[in-house]
Each structure stands twice: as C-alpha cells, then as structure tokens.
Structure 1
Amino acid sequence: MSDPGPNTTITPRYDYAAYYDENYSYYSPCNDIDGREFGRVFLPTLYSLVFGLGFLGNGLVVCVLVKHRNQTNLTDICLFNLALSDLLFVLTLPFYAHYSVVSGWTFGDFMCRFISTCNCVGFFSSIFFMVVMTLDRYMVIMHTQKVARYRSLRAGIVLSMIVWLLSLCVSVPDLIFTKVTNGLYGQSCNQALDSSALRLYNILSTNILGLVIPLLVMVVCYSRIIPILVTMRSAKRHRVVKLIISIVAAFFLFWAPYNISIFLRFLQVQGKLSGECNFDAKLKLTITVTETFAYTHCCLNPIIYAFVGQKFMKKALQMLSKWMPWIHLSSTRSFSDSSFKKSSVMSRSSDVTPTIM
C-alpha cells in the first residue's frame, strides 16, 4: 500500500495516508481534504466487507478440503492454495482499514514490513494459482492421456511450493524497502524509494504479472477449451462454457480498471500527464475506488472455483449443518450421489473435464 510520489512507488499496497503528503516539483501542492475524508469513510467500510466475506468464503473452502484431504488431487491442492492466498490477502485488510481511519500507521516498523509483504504475496499468489488452474484444465482437456500420470499429489505439492516461492520473490522489494516514515499527517507505511528503476519494477510487476499475462493465459487456454466442450455430448456443456466466460470476464472487469488507474498515476508521476489539481484529485479517487473494487474479487474465488461444483457444495453444506445444527439445511439432501457424477468441470472441486469426458 503505497502511493507513487517522488519517494514512493506504485504497488498493489497503497498508502492512502501518504496519498495526501505528496509535493510534486512540477506543480503546486493540491488541497486533498475532501479525498482524505472520503477515503476515511469509504475504505474502512469496504475493507471490512471484503474481509468478512473473503474470510468466511475462503475459510470454508480450506476447512472442507482439509476435512476431505484423503481424497485430495492436484485440482484440490491448487484450490486449497488459492483459498490460502486469498485468506492471507484479506487478513491484511483490517490493518489498512485502521490505517485509513486514523490516517497514520500505529503498528510499528516490523508490522509495516510484514503486513505489506503478506499483502503482496497474497495478491500475486492468488493470481498465479488461478493461472495454474487454467493451465491444468487446458492440459487435462487437450492432452488427457499425456498428463494423467503427472497429475499426482507430489506434483501438486511441488507446483504449489514453486508458486509460493515465485510470489515471495516478486514481493522482495516490499520486504526490503517498506518502512514507517513521517509525513504531513503522521506516520506512513510505504515504500521509500528514490530509484526510478524500482518504481518502474513495481508498475510492471503489478500490470504485467498481475493482469496482462494471467489474462492472456486465460483467453488463449479457454478459447481452445470452449470448442472442445461445445462438441461434447453433455447437457451441462453450455453452463460450463458460461462459467468459463464468467471467470475471464470477472477477472478482467475487477482488475483492469485498477491496473489502468495506477498506470495513469505512474505516467503522472513521470510528468507525462497533467498535474493539475482537479485531474490529480479525480485520479486519486479513481485509484481508491477501483482498488477496493478489485479486492472484492477474492470474495468471488470460492464461488467461481469451488461452490459451483455439486460435490464441493454438498461437502460444504454437510459441514455447515454440523456446525449449525439449528439451521435446517434441506438442500444437503438435494445432492444425490447420481448428481455428483454430473458435477461441473470447474470443480472436483473444479475439475470439469474428467467428468464431462
């Protein structure tokens, strides 16, 4: 959470308290009181909502997969790690909600580095696991016989370790350069960087690794998968196609506005766009709104990747009925064993192909 000023960089972890401490050399300081007041109300509310929904949804996914770990396959391992990534991400939001309310960081330098790094690792690992699951579906559908023997439990564990390690490597600048600094409105937790190369790294990593490559992989893989699914003799093939389109559309609609806005911010810091106060205020407001909107995508992941599968849904309902016996979950009986055999591709939890094939 940092703002791209002369000593800060653009990252997925924005420092809204530092937003209004900026003083660019190429234009006069602007009055951002209205923006600060808006962020003080808007951010805690939305962060709290995203935290609550994301924690409940992804927590339930983790609990169900842990309970049925003896039936785990590669898809479930990816789904489990996707839920962990989203949990790691949403657990940082209460700190930033408090940060935006008091307009200052009160948790110390260590927590500043730790929370910022966890936020970044959760952000990238969630997207990377979505890419892995997309590639896994592609290989299963397009090269079923060749990849069957490689989709083992060990392969899933090794693949997960690689993704987590890659996410940590991408997040190293947050770990090293994030610190508590003194601003006009109190202490801020942000990256204190003077290097234009590191600022460029942050904008490229966020846009290239966080949007362009994942979206490209999804579009290419699913554009090859959909014609295969359409030709299959399955009553649910149209629902599966709609679900695939929903995955790509949701990812683009939730993340593209945010990535575009921070790229415009980067151009403004480089002096390529106007520094006029009205434009500056609108751009800051756009980043605030689009970032929070993008964060809600982690609440949709359990729905898109887990709960659409009838097998997973029944397991989740059975677990909820044990936790809350006073609630009559009659829907748990509506999922017969025969319906499980027709469960969607997006799940085995999300492994559509073997079922339809």
Structure 2
Amino acid sequence: MGETNDTTMADYGDYYTEEKSFVELCSNGNVSEFRRIFLPTLYSLVFIVGLLGNGLVTYVLVAYHRRNMTMTDTCLLHLAVSDLLFIVSLPFWSHNAATANWPFGDFMCRAVNGLYMLGFYGSIFFMVLMSVDRYVVIVHAVTIARHRSAPMGTALCGVIWAISLCASLPTIIFTRAKNDSASTFTCKAEFPDGTKWKQVTYFQMNLLGLLLPLTVMVFCYSRIIPTLVGLKSAQKHKAIRLALVIIAVFFVFWTPYNVALFLHALRTLDYFSDCDFKLRLDLSLQWTETLAFTHCCLNPVIYAFVGQKFQRRALNLLRKWLSFLSSCNSFTAERFERRSSTFSKSSEITSTQLM
C-alpha cells in the first residue's frame, strides 16, 4: 500500500467524501441479508450432502480397491477427495457469512482458502481427466487403452494435483486475515495496488474453470457418442444419456457463476460504474456461486452411483452395516432382557421380604 501524506489527503478530501457517499448510496442491505441468512443455510446443506456422498464414494473405493485399483477407480477416488477438500472449507465460510467476521486467524484463513481453491480446481480437472479417460477407452480401445493402469492413473492424478496447486497459488499467497475494526476481521485476497493480479485470477478461473474444461469435455463426448451409437449393445443408450448429462450438468451449474465472475472482473476494470448494476451483480454472484458449489454434491451421483458395479459394492457395504447394527441391537436386547429379568426377580424378592 502506498503512503499518502497530509497534503494529498487535504487536496483530495472532497473526492474521498464523494466516493464515500457514493459507496453508502450504493450499499444495499439485501445483499448483506442474503449473505447472513441464506448462505449459511445453503452452505450447510451442501456440506452435509456432499460430505455423505463423497465420503461414501471414498469409503467404497478404498474398501474394495486398496490393492487392485483401475485407472477409472483412481480418478474417481481423487475426484471424491478433491470434492471433500472443497467441502471442508464450507463451514468456515458459513460462519464468516453469518457473523461478517473471521475469528480463526491468519493461518486458518490461508489454509481454508487453499483447500477451497485446491478443491475447486482439482474437482474440475479430475472431471476433465475422467472424460479423457473415457474417450481413450471407448474411441481408442485397441491402440491406447492397454497403457491404462493404476500406476499411470496415480501419476496422472499427481500431475492434476500439481496443476491445481499452481493455479491456486496466487490466491493462497495474497490471502490474509485483515483487521477491519476493533473486533472484526475479514479473510480475503489482498492484491498489491497497481497490479493486475485480481483480474488475472478472475480470468484464470474463467479459462481453467469453464472454457478449457468444457471444450475438452465437449470434444471427448462428441467423439464418444458416435462411437457408442455404432455399438450393438443394450447399454449404449444409457451410456449416451450419461454422457449428455455430464456435459449438460457441468454447463448449467458452472456457466452462470463464470459469467458473473467475468462481469465482476470487468467491473474492477471500471467498465461498469452503474450502482444498480453493481448491486445486481453482487447478488447474482452469491446465487450463482452457491449453484456452482452444489455441483460437488452431484459428482458422486453422476460418476459413481450410476455404475452398476459401484451400486453392488455400496449395497454390500450397506448390508454389512445393517447386519452389524442388527447384531448390536439383538445383543443389546438380550442384555436388556437379562437385566429386566434380574430386576423383576429382585423386585419379587424385595416385595416378599417387605410383606
């Protein structure tokens, strides 16, 4: 932050007063109320549903594939882990939105923001990797598919994590907890004045978060679907519908947020100075961001639960849990019956003695 002397402040006092008045006029309690009331509720729902779904996917894959994971299993596991990293940050943002304060300190500010960005990019990049993997398996089944293996999948996932970390570094480096008042802190990225880092991060999220992944996925599935159409299989229609659902869901959930983010980046470049537009944009960012967040809840449904093999294994685990719970309940019932019988006998003896 550049230093400002007293003379400069005196010369531009009117300007600062006008700017402050404009900010006050442009402030809208609706956005603040939405953040305070609705965001914690929506974040909590995404956290619970996403944690259950992705946690179940991780548990099933680790329980059944610890020794003989395929490349598809490896990619699916890392996709679930990246979604979990993203989801873990939501309770902190929920508390921050509800109280308009960050009480967790500077280290947690950087750590939570790092998990958020790492999970954000990781989830999208692993979806791209799985699309490329399916393209290789279906379109180039003979020439390239033989090179698919668990070590290859692990190596590619390592590359994806490295790329996600590099994409997250600018936000992680510039993020800090800042004291706004005596008892109020904020946690956000504070980019140096006179630089374009803020705009770079916004446009980077547009490029790496939507344009590039959507282009790769459209290319892959545009080649996959004609190949499936030519197959004589009873399952081809289900596979085609799944391919279309993957593209449609990704586009519907992520495009509104990226459009709002792009407009917000343009506003930081002073392209839009209208107050009403600013207020509408701030509110649309909140809504579209929450919509994009819910995509991590759908990943387990789209990529795991629609698979028959995964369904069988999840049902087997569910049966084991139910049998374990029923055995525990039966054991508890037996103990309760024995205790009840002992208590009734002692009661009879006591009653006889009293009489």
Task: Give the alignment's TM-score, normalised by structure 1.
Answer: 0.82
Higher mean C-alpha deviation, range 63-72 or range 130-139: 63-72
**Structure 1 equivalent of residue 57 of structure 2:** 61
Q: Structure 2 residue aligned with 1:126, among 120, 123, 126?
A: 123
Displacement of 1:327 in angstroms is 8.7
**Structure 2 equivalent of residue 52 of structure 1:** 48
**Structure 2 equivalent of residue 86 of structure 1:** 83
Contact kept, 8 Å, 1:27 with 1:276, in 2: the verdict is no
Change in Cα spacing, 1:144 to 1:66, as seen in structure 2 (3 Å) is: same
**Structure 2 equivalent of residue 311 of structure 1:** 309
Displacement of 1:204 in angstroms is 1.8
Tell me, yes or no, if structure 1 residue 191 matches structure 2 residue 216. no
Q: Structure 2 residue aligned with 1:71, among 64, 68, 71?
A: 68
Tell me, yes or no, if structure 1 residue 181 matches structure 2 residue 181. no
Q: Distance in 1 between matches of 2:189 and 2:214?
A: 27
**Structure 1 equivalent of residue 157 of structure 2:** 160
**Structure 1 equivalent of residue 99 of structure 2:** 102
Which structure is higher in RCO with an 8 Å CA cutoff and minimum separation 6?
Answer: 1
Gaps of 5+ in 1: 1-5, 8-22, 329-357
Q: Structure 2 residue aligned with 1:294, among 277, 283, 292?
A: 292
Q: Distance in 2 between matches of 1:25 and 1:242?
A: 53
Change in Cα spacing, 1:155 to 1:38, as seen in structure 2 (3 Å) is: same
Displacement of 1:195 in angstroms is 4.5
> What letter is aligned with 2:22?
S
State, as a whole percentage, how many aligned pairs show the same letter. 47
Contact kept, 8 Å, 1:77 with 1:157, in 2: the verdict is yes
**Structure 2 equivalent of residue 352 of structure 1:** none
Contact kept, 8 Å, 1:44 with 1:101, in 2: the verdict is yes
Change in Cα spacing, 1:103 to 1:26, as seen in structure 2 (3 Å) is: closer
Higher helix share: 2
Larger Rg over CA atoms: 2
> What letter is aligned with 2:249?
A
Tell me, yes or no, if structure 1 residue 28 matches structure 2 residue 22. yes
Runs of 4+ residues over 4 Å off in structure 1: 23-27
Change in Cα spacing, 1:195 to 1:49, as seen in structure 2 (3 Å) is: farther
Displacement of 1:326 in angstroms is 8.3
> What letter is aligned with 1:116?
N
Displacement of 1:280 in angstroms is 1.4
**Structure 1 equivalent of residue 260 of structure 2:** 261
Contact kept, 8 Å, 2:101 with 2:186, in 1: the verdict is yes
Change in Cα spacing, 1:81 to 1:165, as seen in structure 2 (3 Å) is: same
> What letter is aligned with 1:259?
N
**Structure 1 equivalent of residue 145 of structure 2:** 148
Q: Distance in 1 between matches of 2:180 and 2:283?
A: 20
Displacement of 1:25 in angstroms is 5.4
Displacement of 1:186 in angstroms is 2.5
Q: Distance in 2 between matches of 1:296 and 1:63?
A: 21
Q: Distance in 1 between matches of 2:250 and 2:325?
A: 34
Displacement of 1:269 in angstroms is 1.7
> What letter is aligned with 1:133?
M
Contact kept, 8 Å, 2:199 with 2:268, in 1: the verdict is no
- RMSD value over aligned CA atoms? 2.1
**Structure 2 equivalent of residue 350 of structure 1:** none
